[in-house]
Structure 1
Amino acid sequence: MFLEGIIGITLIVYVFNLVYGKLLRGRKINGINEKAVMVTGCDSGLGLEMIKHLNSIGFVTIATCLNCNSKGYQELITKGERCKVIIMDITKEDQVIETFNEVKSYLNQMGIDGLYGLVNNAGVLINGEFDWCTWPQIKNQIDVNLTGPIQLTKLFIDDIVNNQGRLIYVTSLVSTVPFPLCSTYCSTKSGLSMFAEGLSAELDRFGVKIILLQPGDFTKLTNIVQVTVKASTMMRDSFNERKKILYGDYFSQYYSNMIKDLGIISYDNYRDSSLNHDIEEALTSVNPRLVMVQSFLWYQIIIKTISILPRNWRINISKFVQYLSRKKLINSDEQVNQ
């Protein structure tokens, strides 16, 4: 009877929190038109889509782009004075500081007292075995995906605290599992998630909410194919004799097969995903969900199931996936040579 009572009370509390939380999520903050949000990595892809949506619902928006010739930069500079576009390389500390000063100046001109929301979206994925990657490719992922967002957070934390604002970190659904062939990427996204969770506990008493967005596959809507081709060429050119002998034709076969299969579980357009709904909830809801996933449900279930398995199980699953991938490519190569 005692155990049944505990279970019953637990279920009641769970349902109450679920319903109460959902009702609170429906409540919106006031004064969106007087609040400013900043999104990094708006040259294309998710960053560009999010900043356009946030601008359309009334926020004063600040977008950072890496390239003034990019689709995002060229499109955003036509949005008017309520959409500020800044060129910034998040791996360059001096540029990050210059951006901070430029944002503060812009907000003063707009009569806005500090930044309300910071969306750390800029990211880079170099797909390939760790031994293939050059050191600049490895370091760039660390700088863009982890060091840069932490530095931006440090610079804008006073504004966020003073405005009881929001810090949004775009990590990845694979930040919770050891995916082979993108070990550096997974570790940086996992590190960013841990940073955000720790910071959330520290800033909660000031009314600051920290939200993780975990995108799944958006390959068809990004430039990842072009980036992958360019990265693989740089890897191959850097190979010494040891690597040329060790990996043989497997390297070329892998990238040929990967590029062909990229995007098989990707969304075809942003309307089919929850991206815009989630970023809007993260910045406007009184009680937003603290973790939001943008992926097909079946893929979420697979990843989440793997993530809660014992560590040695997860590693063995990764090894098995890698084994199957190699076996498929080797068999394919043998058939071609026969």
Structure 2
Amino acid sequence: MSLGHYLAVVRGKQLPFWWRSKFLTALNGFSSLPTEQLWQLHDELTKSLHTKQRRNEPAQQAGRNSLLDLKIELTRRIYRSCTLCPLMCRIDRMNGEVGRCGLKADAHAFREGLLVSEEPFIVPTYELFLTGCNMRCKFCQAWEGVVRTNLGFKLTGSNFAPKVERKAKRGALNIHFVGGEPTVNLLAVLVSLKSLKVPLPIVWNTNLFATDEAMKLLDGVVDLFVADFKFGNDECAWGIGGVRGYVATVQSNLLKASRIASLVIRHLVMPGHIECCLVPVVSWVTQNLPKVTFHLMLNYLPDWRAWSDKALSRRLNESEKQRAMAIVKSVGLKRVLISG
């Protein structure tokens, strides 16, 4: 889908997926149905979102449930034995249990604001940095929000909607969920969207270390994925990010993301990890998603646990930057951004 859908929403030619999900009528009384039947209904309704749409959708009938309500119900059920990410903790988040991400049912934003330092087609963007993450990257610059999951303010519809409305008046083009990792905060995000009356597109800044169920729930909510493809092999993913089975999971989810929304792929070049990580990442993207915008990030800064890792405890040198740029420019990617 490249950037087509997202840009059409920004320009007022299409409505955001989440907005259409909010007004797409679903079956009433679905909370009593078995989960398998709910997924069937969900998939049918989500598929209809990708058909030709009108700019002005009809209002939902009063008292009727929507596709967004259905997504909320399914997410609540997942939270009772959480399987949103491949770690498959299966803890009951609705009853206060926590797994690797450190989160219960609530979400907290430890930072928020109108920012202009992202990709040019995203800014100005209203970013909410949500606590908690299912990865533990040694160099994480948001580490405080990852380990202190109650930091900041609780995300609710009553405080989310006014903030968005104020930022929209100041020129925000979108609502940009960052982390930590937003996917493990999915329930609170969906519930908060129900209260929102401003149809801004949703940007989902994610590590894409998520299950098929999570990706299906994001379909019909996210308008633009800004996805980190961090590691080019599973050994580096385990040693630096603390997760196993990383590469196949992210590759699969990048393909899914490209089919259900607009997509930008980011790769932060790590010192000493050009051949093992950048090269295979660029090779895979070139072969599988050559038309997707690829953002090469050369602004690595050591933080958190990176100081204890000799390879990661420094910035990129000029030789590494030149090598990284040469690699990306040599493969024929159609849309490349370079920063740092």
Same topology, TM > 0.5: no
TM-score by length of 1: 0.36
TM-score by length of 2: 0.36
- Quick check: which one's helix share is greater? 1
Larger radius of gyration: 1
